[in-house]
Amino acid sequence: MKRYTRVWRRETANAWPLLQAAAAATLAWLIATHLARHHQPFFAPIAAVVALNTTTGERGTNAFRLLFGVFIGIGVGEGTILLLDTEYVSLALATFTAMFIARHIGGARVMIAQAAASAILTVALARGEAGTQRLGDALIGGGVALMFSQVFFSPEPVRLIRRATVAALKEMGHLLALTTRSLDEDANSHNPDSILDSARELRERLGELAHMMRAADHVVRHSVYWRSRSKAVARETAAAKHLELLGGSLLMLARIAIASEPSERRELVPVVARMVAADLIAFLGEDASEMHRVPFRP
């Protein structure tokens, strides 16, 4: 049941950004069709989806990268058409030059891909006539993506870190319960498979926590509002880093429980207890300073 619950929670969390991208694509299509009066505004919804198709905290930056790539590609394509008459040579030169410039300006793959695609379309379709509409669609799609990522569904770095912290703590409690039972030489519940499953789940949760810390730092650096509240984010990040240490200790505990012989586990309990208690003190703060005096009882 626990596994099905985790799968449901994960799939629900994954579906939310997909719904946002679908709504952004629809809105971009409506704006390009009815307001901008574009005949075939297929790139506007595509630009919205591509801009939002990245991790939390980086979607706004991704939208700007997409727009820069389109600008570079169209500019290079138009310039190549003016300089060269041979279509094949123009296509090759424009594609390479656009990618080269995008690579040295930012280097993001979405920027390089959009620069190349825009240059190709500008040269290949109607000798540059498609460039203006593509640029307009990119502005619409990128603008909608920015509205979704920065206004409608703006990430809150403190909440991101706390949510990842709670998920990691829950999995730590589950792993600790399994491994402490395995360290008891009188217990017959030693189940290496369940410990391995929980350890893998904990590594995933710790990986998500590390990602959320990076995303929170990115949001603080690029948001005027959160830059003024950077101290609150810094406190959450510091606590999350201590939690990472605790998670590493618990993973080591799990490896010990699996690899040790039954006769060795009881001797390892005090050593592991001191190791885990030290990380708990670091995570919980000075209020937990008396924890090391409490004997560890698996």
Cα angle value 258/261/262 (rounded, 5°): 100
- Which pLDDT does position 98 carry in this prediction? 94
Confidence class for position 186, pLDDT limits 50, 70, 90: low
Separation between Cα atoms, residue 248 and residue 275, nearest integer Å = 10
Give the Cα separation of 208 and 212 in Å (integer).
6
As a whole number of angstroms, the distance between CA 85 and CA 109 comes to 30
- The C-alpha atoms of residue 113 and residue 111 are separated, in whole angstroms, by 5
Of the candidates 117, 102, 41, the one whose C-alpha atom is nearest the C-alpha of residue 68 is 102
pLDDT, tens digit (0-9, with 9 covering 90-100), for 6-59: 666 667 767 888 899 999 999 999 999 988 888 778 888 988 988 888 776 677
Can you give the length of the chain in residues?
298
Confidence of residue 218 (pLDDT cuts 50, 70, 90): confident
- In the numeric block, the tokens 């920015």 are attached to 146
Angle separating helix axes 230-259 and 157-183, nearest 10 degrees? 20
Say which residues have a Cβ less than 8 Å from residue 240's Cβ, sequence separation at least 6.
Answer: 161, 164, 165, 209, 212, 213
CA distance linking residue 146 with residue 192, whole number of Å: 47
Measured CA angle at 293 (ends 290, 294), to 5 deg: 100
| Average pLDDT of every residue of the chain | 78
Q: Which two tokens stand for residue 228?
A: 């003024």
Q: Over the stretch 123-176, which tens digit does the pLDDT of each residue have?
A: 887 555 566 677 788 889 889 988 888 778 877 888 888 888 988 888 888 887
In the chain, pLDDT over 90 holds for what percent of residues? 12
Lowest-pLDDT range of 141-150, 176-185, 198-207, 238-247: 176-185
pLDDT in tens, 85-122: 777 888 999 999 999 999 988 778 889 998 998 888 88
Burial 157-179 (b: 16+ CB within 10 A, else e): bbebbeebbebbbebbebbbebb
pLDDT of residue 271: 63
The lowest-confidence range among 23-27, 143-147, 202-206, 279-283 is: 279-283
The residue type at 202: L
Report how far residue 44's alpha carbon sits from residue 59's, in angstroms, rounded to the nearest whole number. Answer: 16
pLDDT (tens digit, 9 = 90+) per residue, 53-82?
877 667 778 888 888 888 898 889 888 888
Q: What is the DSSP string of 63-121?
A: HHHHHHHHHHHHHHHHHHHHH---HHHHHHHHHHHHHHHHHHHT--HHHHHHHHHHHHH
70's CB contacts (< 8 A; 6+ apart) are: 47, 114, 115, 118, 134, 135, 138
